[in-house]
C-alpha cells in the first residue's frame, strides 16, 4: 500500500480580504474554504494531513481538527511554509506528499487523484498542476522541455519577456515524491526578487538531480485562488453552478436554477421541486417529493418526504418536519418537531416545541417560549387544533385531540380532548353603532 500525506498551506492572513477573519475561514456555499479543501483531500483517503497555519489563528486551528497542525511564524514563502510542516510528519515516511493551498477551494478530488496517479506511473520527483490562463499575469509559468516534461517553474517576477509569453501557469498544487521532498525543500534558496523561499524551485533542483518533473492540466475555473472579496464571489458563483447541476442530476427540479442558493452539504431527495428564490443555509436534508415554494429561507432543518414548505417560510436550525407536513407563508420554525401531516399554514412562530401528527396550527399562533431569561417548551399532542391567534405561553402541554379557541392566551396545560377558551367574553350593545354614527354626524353639522 502506497502512503499519501497532504500538506495544506493556510498561513496567509489574506490582507486583501480586509477582514479580521483569516482568509481561509471565509465561506463559500456555507462552509469555510479550508474545510472545502480538507474535505476534497479526504476523498483520496490520505494517511496523514497537515495544515500549516500562522500564529494566532484559533479559528483555523479549530477548522483543521482533527488533523495535525504546523506553524509558520513568519511568511517567508511557499517553500518555507512546506518546510514548516516537517515537525508534523514525525518519523513517518510517505510515498507521495500532496501540497495544496487553503485558498483554492474549488479543486476536485478527481484532479488530485489524476496527479497522484501520474506521480506513481512516471516516478517523477514532482508533478505540478498546470492551467491555461489568459492573460497569465502574476502566475508562475510552467516551462516544458522538448519531450513535454516540466523543465522549470519561473515566477512572473523573475521571468524573461519570452517566458512571460507562456500561458501554461502554475496553480500551486504539487504532488512530490515523499522520499525526497524535505531534502529538496532544504536546498531552496531565497536569492530572488522577493527574498522568499519559492516551493517552485524544487522542480529545478529535482531536474538537477536527474529526476523527472511532470505536468497535469486542469481547467482554470477549478483552480481559482481567492485573494479578495471579488474572487470570493467568483468562487461562490462557480460552486453554486456545480451544486445546482448536481441537485438536478440527482432528480431535483430547480425551476430557476440561478436563483436557488444551495449549501455545500444540502441533501435533496428525488422529485423535489424548488421554486425560484430559495436559499439553503448549512445542514439541510430534504426528502423525496418535497415542494419548496418561492422566497423560503431554510437552515439546519430536516424536511420529510412529501412535505410542502413556503412560499415565504423560514426554517431555522432544529426544525424537523415529518412526512407530509405543510408549512405555509410567513411561518417561522426553530427547534421544533412537527409530526406526520401536521400543518402550520399561515403567520405563525413555533419555537422549542413538539407538534404531534395531524395537528393543525391556526393562523397567527405563537409559542411564547422566551421571557427574557429562559427558553421554555411547548408540547402539542396529536390531532390537536390550535385556534387562530392563540398564544401558547410555555412551558405548556396541549393534549391529544385538544382545541384552543381563537384568540386565546393559553397559560395552563390543556387536557386531551378538552377545549380551552382564554379570552374576554363578548358583550353586544344593540343599536349602539347607529347611535354613535348619528352623534358624530350631528357634531360635523354644527
Whichever of 72 and 266 has its CB closer to ligand UD1, that residue is 72
Whichever of 72 and 389 has its CB closer to ligand UD1, that residue is 72
Q: For 151, phi and psi rounded to 5 degrees?
A: -90, -50
d(CA 52, CA 153): 23
CA dihedral 61, 65, 67, 70 (to 10 degrees): 10
Q: For 272, phi and psi rounded to 5 degrees?
A: -80, 140
Shortest CB 95 distance to ligand UD1, Å: 23
Shortest CB 359 distance to ligand UD1, Å: 53
- Of 123, 139, 132, give the one whose Cα is nearest residue 213: 123
Shortest CB 84 distance to ligand UD1, Å: 8
Whichever of 84 and 290 has its CB closer to ligand UD1, that residue is 84
d(CA 44, CA 314): 37
Whichever of 81 and 260 has its CB closer to ligand UD1, that residue is 81
- Of 183, 176, 170, 184, give the one whose Cα is nearest residue 131: 170
Shortest CB 280 distance to ligand UD1, Å: 28
Shortest CB 110 distance to ligand UD1, Å: 20
User: Is 80 a known active-site residue?
Assistant: no
Shortest CB 351 distance to ligand UD1, Å: 41
d(CA 428, CA 432): 9
CA distances from residue 160 to 103, 138, 288 in whole angstroms, order as listed: 28, 13, 59
Task: Decide if 155 contacts 203 (C-beta within 8 A).
Answer: no
In this structure, what C-alpha cell is assigned to residue 378?
A: 411547548
From the list 36, 48, 80, 346, the catalytic residue is 346
Whichever of 68 and 353 has its CB closer to ligand UD1, that residue is 68
Task: Decide if 323 contacts 304 (C-beta within 8 A).
Answer: yes
Whichever of 200 and 296 has its CB closer to ligand UD1, that residue is 200
* Element housing 80 (H / E): helix 78-84
Q: What is the DSSP string of 161-222?
A: HHHHT--EEEEEEEEEETTTHHHHHHT----STT----TTHHHHHHHHTT--EEEEE--GGG
Task: Decide if 257 contacts 248 (C-beta within 8 A).
Answer: yes
Whichever of 7 and 315 has its CB closer to ligand UD1, that residue is 7
Shortest CB 75 distance to ligand UD1, Å: 4
- Residue 382, classed as helix, strand or coil, is coil
> Which residues of this protein are in contact with ligand UD1, per CB under 6 A?
9, 11-12, 52, 72, 75-78, 80-81, 101-103, 139-140, 153, 155, 169-172, 198-200, 225
Whichever of 63 and 398 has its CB closer to ligand UD1, that residue is 63
Taking every pair of Cα atoms in the chain, the longest distance, rounded to a whole number of angstroms, is 111
- Of 138, 336, 346, 295, give the one whose Cα is nearest residue 225: 138
Whichever of 71 and 330 has its CB closer to ligand UD1, that residue is 71
Within 10 angstroms of residue 186's Cβ, the number of other Cβ atoms is 11
Going by C-beta distance under 8 Å and a sequence separation of 6 or more, which residues neighbour residue 41?
6, 8, 49, 98, 100, 109, 112
CA distances from residue 394 to 262, 321, 330, 353, 366 in whole angstroms, order as listed: 34, 21, 21, 9, 10
Shortest CB 50 distance to ligand UD1, Å: 12
- Residue 54, classed as helix, strand or coil, is coil
Shortest CB 104 distance to ligand UD1, Å: 7
Active-site residue list = 346
Amino acid at each position: 500500500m502506497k502512503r499519501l500525506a497532504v500538506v495544506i498551506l493556510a498561513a496567509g492572513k489574506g490582507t486583501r480580504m480586509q477582514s479580521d477573519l483569516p482568509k481561509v475561514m471565509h465561506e463559500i456555499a456555507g462552509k469555510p474554504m479550508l474545510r472545502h479543501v480538507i474535505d476534497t483531500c479526504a476523498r483520496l483517503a490520505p494517511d496523514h494531513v497537515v495544515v500549516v497555519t500562522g500564529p494566532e489563528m484559533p479559528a483555523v486551528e479549530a477548522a483543521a481538527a482533527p488533523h495535525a497542525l504546523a506553524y509558520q511564524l513568519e511568511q517567508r514563502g511557499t517553500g518555507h511554509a512546506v518546510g514548516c510542516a516537517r515537525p508534523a510528519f514525525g518519523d513517518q515516511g510517505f510515498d507521495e506528499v500532496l501540497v495544496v493551498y487553503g485558498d483554492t477551494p474549488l479543486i476536485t478530488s478527481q484532479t488530485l487523484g489524476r496527479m497522484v496517479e501520474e506521480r506513481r506511473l512516471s516516478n517523477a520527483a514532482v508533478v505540478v498542476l498546470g492551467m491555461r490562463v489568459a492573460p497569465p499575469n502574476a502566475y508562475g509559468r510552467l516551462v516544458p522541455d522538448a519531450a513535454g516534461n516540466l523543465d522549470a517553474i519561473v515566477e512572473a517576477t523573475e521571468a524573461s519577456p519570452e517566458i512571460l509569453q507562456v500561458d501554461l501557469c502554475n496553480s500551486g498544487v504539487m504532488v512530490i515524491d515523499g522520499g525526497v521532498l524535505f531534502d529538496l525543500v532544504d536546498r531552496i534558496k531565497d536569492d530572488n526578487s522577493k527574498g522568499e523561499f519559492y516551493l517552485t524551485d524544487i522542480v529545478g533542483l529535482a531536474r538537477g538531480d536527474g529526476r523527472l518533473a511532470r505536468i497535469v492540466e486542469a481547467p482554470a475555473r477549478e483552480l481559482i485562488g481567492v485573494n479578495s472579496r471579488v474572487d470570493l464571489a467568483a468562487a461562490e458563483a462557480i460552486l453554486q453552478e456545480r451544486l445546482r447541476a448536481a441537485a438536478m442530476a440527482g432528480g431535483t427540479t430547480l425551476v430557476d436554477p440561478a436563483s436557488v442558493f444551495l449549501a455545500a452539504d444540502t441533501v435533496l431527495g428525488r422529485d423535489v421541486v424548488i421554486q425560484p428564490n430559495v436559499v439553503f443555509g448549512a445542514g439541510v436534508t430534504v426528502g423525496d417529493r418535497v415542494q419548496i415554494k418561492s422566497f423560503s429561507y431554510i437552515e439546519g432543518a430536516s424536511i420529510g418526504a412529501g412535505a410542502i414548505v413556503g412560499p415565504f417560510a423560514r426554517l431555522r436550525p432544529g426544525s424537523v418536519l415529518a412526512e407530509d407536513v405543510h408549512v405555509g407563508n410567513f411561518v417561522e420554525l426553530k427547534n421544533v418537531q412537527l409530526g406526520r401531516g401536521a400543518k402550520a399554514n399561515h403567520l405563525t412562530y413555533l419555537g422549542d416545541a413538539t407538534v404531534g401528527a395531524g395537528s393543525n396550527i391556526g393562523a397567527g399562533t405563537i409559542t411564547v417560549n422566551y421571557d427574557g431569561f429562559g427558553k421554555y417548551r411547548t408540547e402539542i399532542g396529536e390531532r390537536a387544533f390550535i385556534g387562530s391567534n392563540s398564544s401558547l405561553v410555555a412551558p405548556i402541554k396541549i393534549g391529544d385531540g385538544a382545541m384552543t379557541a381563537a384568540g386565546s392566551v393559553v397559560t395552563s396545560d390543556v387536557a386531551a380532548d378538552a377545549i380551552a377558551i382564554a379570552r374576554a367574553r363578548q358583550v353586544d350593545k344593540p343599536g349602539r353603532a347607529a347611535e354613535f354614527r348619528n352623534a358624530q354626524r350631528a357634531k360635523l353639522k354644527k
